[in-house]
Amino acid sequence: MIAAGSLYLRLVGPAYGFFGLGLALYFAYQGAGRLFWPLASGCLRLFAAAGGGWLALRLTGSLEALFAAVALGLLLYGLVLAAVVRAGVWFRTAF
């Protein structure tokens, strides 16, 4: 149990910074009244973590691969929202 928790923290722990970035941007988007991208990014995170985790366990059966899929989901969540802000979506008219 301790070995699995330690492995999780080593592999997924660094990605929590991107999750924090994503949460901060989510609330900023909410304040701006634009929730499409945060919701789309959250769905992407879900598909990457759940789908990738299922696939990783099915193919390899290892916790390392499962934790890598979870880390990828957190990384995508923050990076997609940051990329959308960088692209200037807030300054365009709502559709």
Walk along the chain (95 residues) in steps of 10 and give the mean pLDDT of each run.
92 96 94 90 96 94 94 96 88 63
Helix 63-86 × helix 52-59 angle, to 10° = 150
pLDDT on residue 95: 54
Could you give the residue ranges of the DSSP H alpha helices within 47-87?
52-59, 63-86
